[in-house]
Amino acid sequence: MYDFSFFNPTRILFGKNAISQIADWIPRSAKVLMTYGGGSIKKNGVYDRVIKALGTRELHEFSGIEPNPAYETLMEAVEHVKRVDADFLLAVGGGSVVDGTKFIAAASRFEEGDPWSLLEGARVEAAVPMACVLTLPATGSESNSGAVISHKGKKQKRFFGSPHCYPQFAALDPTTTFSLDKRQTVNGVVDAYVHVLEQYLTFPVNSPLQDRMAEGILLTLIEEAPKVLENPEDYEARANIMWCCTQALNGLIGCGVPHDWATHMIGHELTALFGLDHAQTLAVVLPGVLRRQLKVKTEKLAQYSRRVWNLEDPFAAIEATEMFFRKIGMRTRLSEYGIEAGFEEVPERLKAKGFVLGEHRDIQPEHSLEILKTRV
């Protein structure tokens, strides 16, 4: 395997009482800004449970963080942080709220001009301490140091990350996910599944333990997803999916192995251009990337086919993966989302970011168009 370093200081509080435990990990004297999205947490009782757990702490709120959290919205929150002098941010929601709150945390302590520059490579030197109560397992943001932020005005979607941005804790209560609808649930499963493949389906470097951990997440998602679609209040299946999503992108399975991320980078452009859900873009792009990369991924594809799908043909797993997505209700073709054209500018957009993609850096920006044309 490759040399690596691994560090993940996020404390996981997992189970039916996770929310009540958050008070143990927020200073009594904290001035808390609670951040959330559209208000589903008020319908499903999570809001009330968090308020109760926070007790007598000084509490402020910022709501309205949207899916694909927007720089414009988040900068309003930064003003809020400064106005009330908040010293602890508590994100309550899914990956977008957590990602957005990481940006709020970093931008609130950024002193050198427009915080958008954090999305263009400026270094995070400090951040307001933050933590989260997760209600939508998917992105892994609850225990990693990265975030993806969109700029509505610029039609851009970009990544940033910093060790200052690890959540101090992540409260994971599977019962908070009972009220997710089918689309949210399936998005989460597909997102985590593709996170694993981006770190696993590359080329062999003799990393048998990382491989088996990755396969363990894939097999578990394949088994558990149908159960929650059948019965959204299946606690055990919800819990297993939640734990899979965290493990898929907390850094562990990516230790010492090559990473791909081409599917994500092309997918981000589809979200920026067409507003597709993040996971929808992954389900569309992934089969195209894998088919184009057949040759350089053959060895790991063979292993994936055999161990995860029990198939002899190394390439049959690509079909099986797409069929799995479709079986749980995810559309995998652009035309199914009403998109037949308009993606011709993806190569230019990737080029503007200086991206050359794939674990071998052999997917040039212009290849993204070839890939997308196969996915209409």
Which residues here bind a second copy, judged by CB under 8 A?
1-9, 11-18, 21, 206-213, 215-217, 219-220, 223-224, 236, 239-240, 243-244, 247, 252, 255-256
Answer for the pair 245, 187: CB distance below 8 angstroms, yes or no.
Answer: no
- Complex with a second copy: residue 135 or 240, whichever CB lies closer: 240
- Complex with a second copy: residue 171 or 265, whichever CB lies closer: 171
Q: How far is the CB of 282 from a second copy (least distance, A)?
A: 21
- Complex with a second copy: residue 7 or 338, whichever CB lies closer: 7
Q: How far is the CB of 8 from a second copy (least distance, A)?
A: 7
Q: How far is the CB of 190 from a second copy (least distance, A)?
A: 17
Q: How far is the CB of 351 from a second copy (least distance, A)?
A: 34
Q: How far is the CB of 268 from a second copy (least distance, A)?
A: 28
Count Cβ atoms within 10 A of the Cβ of residue 91 and give its class: 0-12 exposed, 13-18 middle, 19 or more buried: buried
Phi-psi region of 215 (alpha: psi -120 to 50; beta: other; left: phi over 0): alpha
- Complex with a second copy: residue 156 or 210, whichever CB lies closer: 210
The Cβ-side half-sphere exposure at 58, using a 13 Å CA radius, reads 9
- Complex with a second copy: residue 206 or 298, whichever CB lies closer: 206
User: Torsions phi, psi of 36, nearest 5?
Assistant: -155, -175
- Complex with a second copy: residue 63 or 220, whichever CB lies closer: 220
- Complex with a second copy: residue 250 or 293, whichever CB lies closer: 250
* 3-class secondary structure, 76: helix
Q: How far is the CB of 161 from a second copy (least distance, A)?
A: 16
Q: How far is the CB of 306 from a second copy (least distance, A)?
A: 14
Structure tokens at 264: 């994500």
- Complex with a second copy: residue 12 or 316, whichever CB lies closer: 12
- Complex with a second copy: residue 122 or 213, whichever CB lies closer: 213
Which positions ≥6 away from 85 have C-beta within 8 Å? 31
Q: How far is the CB of 239 from a second copy (least distance, A)?
A: 6
User: Torsions phi, psi of 31, nearest 5?
Assistant: -100, 105
Which positions ≥6 away from 148 have C-beta within 8 Å? 68, 99, 157, 158, 159, 268, 278
Nearest to 130 by CA among 198, 268, 30, 233: 30
DSSP 8-state secondary structure symbol assigned to residue 357: B
Answer for the pair 35, 89: CB distance below 8 angstroms, yes or no.
Answer: yes
Helix pair angle (208-230, 182-200), 10° resolution:
170
Q: How far is the CB of 13 from a second copy (least distance, A)?
A: 5
Residue 53: Cβ within 10 Å count: 19
Question: Bridge partners of 101?
Answer: none
